[in-house]
Amino acid sequence: VDVKKIAVIAGDGIGPEVVAEAEKVLKRTEEVFGYRFETEHALFGGIAIDEKGTPLPEETLTVCKNADAVLLGAVGGPKWDNNSKELRPETGLLGIRKALGLFSNLRPAVVFDCLKDASTLKPEVLEGTDLMVVRELTGGIYFGEKFRRESAQGEEAVDTCAYNVAEVERIVRQAFEIAQGRRKKLASVDKANVLETSRLWREVVNRVAPDYPDVELEHVLVDNCAMQLLRRPASFDVIVTENMFGDILSDEAAMLTGSIGMLASASLGEGSFGLYEPVHGSAPDIAGQGLANPIATILSLALMFRTTFGYAEGADAIEEAVANVLNAGHRTSDIAVDKSKAISTTEMGDLIVAAI
């Protein structure tokens, strides 16, 4: 059999707890579908700072590069928030994206039936919302030159935002292709009335658009998009945008679904390699208490199956198991209406495993 290698990065906060449940699910799919996985654990983020003196140790990068895919829990926490830049978990996150060439971040924002009421939006506005933000992940102001200099008005800080044609084209084409596999609508978000990078972005989008005649394209200014997401979320299908705008809009989109604790994400590079992680963070306030909801991480695994391995059967089975467990009324405390009936992280994991 074909053995798939998975680098497992538990990370900080609730990361280890939710990743442990996903690993149980992984095992279960080996039994049921005959898949073969080899997992290798690696240190990353705050724990790597504590144990190795750097958020992204060289060994971790090697483990990831030798793997077919990476499963990441979450990184960061107040403990490291006041560290110098090189000793911060976020620096590791930017480093791993760049080192692994993960130029595309897919952030599906869907509404889970059982969580409809968790949104702060009215149910009738939310009805039918199922969108995907495709965020460029290795360019723009995140990775441009940064420095301080003296100016007549005191110290000055500078960030540089740059995009070249090739960088824009690969993410935009990917977004068009994703749209072709969905409802065939693409919103390209920029600030072309102000930014030069956005004008280049829009030129590239308009140049490649004729190659995807079946996809309906709209250009939306970023400020307007922040509004339209609130006014007509269900009207969006795929949204493609640059790194900084994608950071803001993908979080806004996730939050409006009310399902943020359940959302998976994928960061993809060339080929089939990808890093998969839940959208929620490390939640240090509830870490180690068995309160975390492992579903977003388990669904990230399903996304890995489908996207990197082409294991549609296993992916379907995981997603159905999650749906069945939720439909049977089981809830971790974050999504429980009656908190006294909430089940623990491991109980939720076990139920999903049993349902596969």
Ligand X SMILES: CC(C)[C@H](C(=O)O)[C@@H](O)C(=O)O
* 159 labelled binding-site residue: no
Site residues for a copy of itself, 12-71, by CB under 8 A, read none
The question of whether 251 is a catalytic residue gets the answer yes
Taking the least distance from each CB to a copy of itself, the nearer of 27 and 232 is 232
Token pair recorded at residue 130: 């199922």
Q: Does 351 bind a copy of itself (CB under 8 A)?
A: no
Binding of residue 354 to a copy of itself (CB under 8 A): no
The yes or no reply on residue 146 touching a copy of itself (CB under 8 A) is yes
Least CB distance from residue 303 to ligand X, whole Å? Answer: 16
Four-CA torsion 287, 291, 296, 299, nearest 10 degrees: 120
Rounded-to-integer distance, Cα 246 and Cα 136, Å: 7
* Distant-in-sequence contacts of 210-216, Cβ < 8 A, 24+ apart: 211/173, 211/176, 212/176, 212/177, 212/179, 212/180, 212/186, 214/180, 214/184, 215/176, 215/179, 215/180, 215/184, 215/185, 215/186, 216/184, 216/185, 216/186
Among 195, 208, 323, 355, binds a copy of itself (CB under 8 A): 195
Tokens 């006294």 sit at which residue?
340
Q: Map the footprint of ligand X across residues 215-254, applying CB under 6 A.
A: 223, 247
Applying CB under 6 A, the span of 48-56, 88-96, 182-190, 299-307 interacting with ligand X comes to: 88-96
93 binds ligand X (CB under 6 A): yes
Determine which one of 191, 212, 311, 334 is catalytic.
Answer: 191
The three-class DSSP label of residue 15 is helix
As a whole number of angstroms, the distance between CA 219 and CA 175 comes to 14
Classify the C-alpha dihedral 242-244-250-252 as positive or negative: negative
Q: Which does 155 bind (CB under 5 to 8 A by kind): ligand X, a copy of itself, none?
A: a copy of itself
Cα distance between residue 92 and residue 98, in whole Å: 10
Residue 190 marked in a binding site? no
Question: Taking the complex as a whole, how short is the minimal distance between the CB of residue 229 and a copy of itself, in angstroms?
Answer: 8
Which CB, 248 or 336, lies closer to a copy of itself? 248
Q: Which of 240, 221, 220, 109 is nearest to 173 (CA)?
A: 240
Candidates 227, 177, 166; CA nearest to 201 is 166
63, 79, 160, 220 from 96: Cα distances, Å: 12, 21, 20, 30
Nearer to ligand X, 102 or 295 (CB): 102
Residue partners of 123: CB distance under 8 A and separation at least 6: 116, 117
Contact track, a copy of itself, 91-130, x by CB under 8 A: ---x-------------------------xxx--x-----
Q: How far apart are CA 15 and CA 282, in angstroms?
A: 6
- Tell me whether residue 191 is one of the annotated catalytic residues: yes
Nearer to a copy of itself, 22 or 296 (CB): 296
Buried b / exposed e along 128-146 (16+ C-beta atoms within 10 A): ebebbbbbbbbbbbbbeee
Backbone angles phi, psi at 239, to 5 degrees: -120, 125
Interacting residue with a copy of itself among 226, 286, 291, 323 (CB under 8 A): 226
Catalytic residue flag (residue 142): yes
Q: Which region among 37-45, 60-68, 196-204, 317-325 touches a copy of itself (by CB under 8 A)?
A: 196-204
User: Of 247, 276, 311, 334, which is the active-site residue?
Assistant: 247
Joined tokens for residue 260: 């943020």
Residues that bind a copy of itself (CB under 8 A): 88, 90, 94, 120-122, 125, 141-142, 144, 146-148, 151, 153-167, 191, 193-197, 199-201, 222-224, 226-227, 230-231, 244-245, 247-252, 254-256, 260
Catalogue the active-site residues.
142, 191, 223, 247, 251
Binding residues, as ranges, are 77-90, 97, 107, 135, 223, 247, 251, 281-293
Binding residues for substrate, as ranges, are 97, 107, 135, 223
Binding residues for Mg(2+), as ranges, are 223, 247, 251
Residues that bind ligand X (CB under 6 A): 90, 93-94, 193-194, 223, 247
